[in-house]
Every structure is written in C-alpha cells, then in structure tokens.
A = this chain, B = another copy of it.
Amino acid sequence: MKTLSPLTAQFVAHFGEMGSRWGINRTVGQIYALIFVSEKPLNADEIADALEFSRSNVSIGLKELQSWRLVRLKHQSGDRREYFEAPQDVWEIFKSLAEERRRREIDPTLSMLRAAMLEAPSTAADTYAQNRMKQMHELIELSSTWFDDVQRLSPETLARLMRMGSSVKTVLDMTDKLKVVGRKKTASATGVSQ
C-alpha cells in the first residue's frame, strides 16, 4: 500500500482480512474499502497503485464489485478512463448486498427444495427427509419474501422499525387487539404500502 493514511490503511487492511469471511477475496475487499472511503471516484490505475495490485487483478476485482452493485461507474468528463465510486447511501449498499446475496445464496436452494417437494418419497426415511426439507423450505420462503417486503420500505421506515427492537411485539399485540375490537377501523393494517 502506497501513500495511504494510517486511518485508511487500517480500514483497507481489515476489509482484506475479512474478505474471505464475507465470501469475497482479499483483493476485492480492499478495493471496495478504498473506494468506499474515497471522496472522489477512482480509476483502476489509481487503485492498482495505492494497493499495489496488478492492473489485471484490479480489473477483475472491479468487475466482481460491479456484479454485486457495490461500486458503480462514473465517467469524468475529459478523461477516457473509467472511474468508480461507491453509492453514498449506506442503506442502499445494505440493500444491494442483501438482494445479491439472496439471489446467489438463497434462491438456488429454494428451487432445489421446491423440486424435492415434488418427488414421491419411496421409503419412511425419505418421507422424513422430505418433511425436513419442507420445514426448511417454509422458513426460507417466509424470510426471503419478508426481506423483499422490508427492502421496499423507505430507509426512514426501516430505521424506525429497527430502532423499535423487540418492542415491536407490543405493537403487534396491540394491533391484534385493535383488530378484534374494531375490525373495520384497522383493516388497512393488512394492506401494503411503500
């Protein structure tokens, strides 16, 4: 790493180390970290230079980051090179990450499970296995459609929900009560909104 401030160097190094745990590699993690904390968009040469990676490695890393929608291209007028920046809004980043992870890590499993549900079990063991798969399918299905829904909330609403923490239960209970007492009044509570 060349000419990185200690603060940034520390941040970049951490992302490198964590990379493998996140399911990306060291290089990709470091490239992202660098772009994330950089005020101005960076081009591939600047990145290769700062991180002391080969130019080709940076190219591959940027492709990967783009596929995760964690960085985006931003052209600088009067410069032919491609510049990259990370989305400003951290909520947006969070959403991209969740969405992409879902697409890659969850959806294939859901398809597999759906297919498995359709097979006719031939033995008692198979019946049990299929039942277990069904439980797994239901849980994943439920949490992933929930994630879809929540993803559509505005950052503000999402933040509000999160700040509520577990007191959300009280609200849920309250809602149920209201539903029982005056069905009509709270009917809107089952509708979908932004």
Interface residues of A (CB under 8 A from B): 5-8, 10-11, 14, 18, 21-23, 36-39, 90-91, 94, 104-105, 108-109, 112, 115-116, 119, 121-123, 125-126, 128-130, 132-133, 135-136, 138-139, 142-143, 145-146, 148-150, 152-153, 157, 159-172, 174-175, 186, 188-194
Q: Which residues of B contact A161 (CB under 8 A)?
A: 146, 168-169, 172
Question: Known contacts A7-B116, A168-B161, A169-B153; is A18 also within 8 Å of B108 by CB?
Answer: yes
Q: Which residues of B contact A115 (CB under 8 A)?
A: 10
Q: Which residues of B contact A189 (CB under 8 A)?
A: 167, 170-171, 174
Q: Which residues of B contact A149 (CB under 8 A)?
A: 165-166
- CB pair B172–A191 under 8 Å, yes or no, is no
Q: Which of B18, B109, B129, B148 contacts A37 (CB 8 A)?
A: B129
A126 to chain B, nearest CB (A): 5
Q: Which residues of B contact A146 (CB under 8 A)?
A: 161-163, 165
